[in-house]
Amino acid sequence: MSDDAFAAATAAIIAAGQRMDRFGWVPATAGNISVRLPDDAVAITRSGGHKGFLDVNGVIRVDLDGRPLRPGDRPSAETGLHCGIYRRFPDAGAVLHGHSVPVTHLSRTGGDSIRLEGYELLKAFPGLPTHEAAIALPVFDNDQDIARLQSAVDRRWDELGQVPPGYLIRGHGIYVWGADMPAALMRLEALEFMLACELEKRRAA
Ligand SMILES: CSCCC(=O)C(=O)COP(=O)(O)O
Ligand SMILES: [Zn+2]
């Protein structure tokens, strides 16, 4: 496996963690970040560290089933959700998970999806040429059993005709992915902006 690809992925993950931290999306040790590597491998954050202060030792390699390539390494506790995205979406090159205030609050207000409509920023997503479009972000009940949670996510993808740009886990956080790290960050920023607006709207109502 190419060390260059792993080094580039590690640099992208460290920079993404710093950016997410600047926005307050990875408090304490929350969040995790990954990049797809050649040969069915994934570079992912180690479990338990602060994602705003990552260094090269904070990123390790796993296979597409989430098994560490180096025995003894402890990848993110949510590695199974990252691998689920890479297995389901061959175009996914990077995955981001954060715990922002809007995501955490809105995901707790009930319902199995959050509708976003009328936002100019919807045009940030492929296939949405106008602000008149709408998306429904799925919300899954939180589960400490990550394999069971991933099964619930897979079941929803099987039911849905069109896959949304991300999903929420109730009282927990958000998952987004993109073709590469810039694309994943752009999706996350667009969703976080619109969810922050939704939170303001509900506060004002
Ligand atoms: C203190 S956050 C609880 C775990 C979590 O939800 C998370 O995103 C971070 O877990 P990791 O194992 O990836 O550090
Ligand atoms: Zn989490």
pLDDT tens sequence across 152-190:
999 999 999 889 999 999 999 999 999 999 999 999 999
d(CA 122, CA 125): 6
pLDDT band of 193, cuts 50, 70, 90: very high
How many A from CA of 129 to the centre of ligand 2?
31
Substitution candidate for ligand 1 out of 44, 51, 99, 169 with most atoms within 8 A of CB: 99
Measured from the Cα of 48, ligand 1's closest atom is 14
Banded model confidence at residue 129, pLDDT cuts 50, 70, 90: confident
- Report how far residue 148's alpha carbon sits from residue 144's, in angstroms, rounded to the nearest whole number: 9
Q: What is the mean pLDDT of the chain?
A: 97
- What pLDDT, in 10s, does the model give residues 11-21? 999 999 999 99
- Tokens standing for residue 74: 């402890």
- CATH classification of 3-204 is 3.40.225.10, yes or no? yes
Q: Give the mean pLDDT of 190-199.
A: 98
Residue-range domain boundaries for the chain: 3-204
Which of the ligands is closest to the CA of residue 32?
1
Distance CA 61, CA 74 (A): 10
**Which has the minimum average pLDDT: 44-53, 111-120, 126-135, 179-188?**
126-135
Closest C-alpha residue for ligand 1 atom 4: 30
pLDDT for the residue 82: 99
Q: Pick from 177, 202, 152: which is nearest to 82 by CA? A: 177
Q: Can you list the positions of beta strands (E) in 8-93?
A: 32-37, 41-45, 59-63
Q: How far is CA 41 from CA 25, 49, 56, 141, in A?
A: 26, 21, 17, 28
User: Which residues line the annotated binding site for Zn(2+)?
Assistant: 97, 99
Phi/psi of residue 131, nearest 5 degrees: -65, -15
| Segment 93-120, tens digit of pLDDT | 999 999 999 999 999 998 999 999 999 9
Q: Which among 41-50, 130-139, 157-166 has the top mean pLDDT?
A: 41-50
The model's pLDDT over 65-92, given as tens digits with 9 standing for 90+, comes to 999 999 999 999 999 999 999 999 999 9
Best residue among 44, 45, 78, 188 to mutate for probing ligand 1, ranked by most atoms within 8 Å of CB: 78
Query: Do 70 and 61 touch, CB atoms closer than 8 A?
Result: yes
Confidence of residue 1 (pLDDT cuts 50, 70, 90): low
Half-sphere exposure of 28 (CA within 13 A, CB side): 4
Q: Give the DSSP letter of residue 68.
A: B
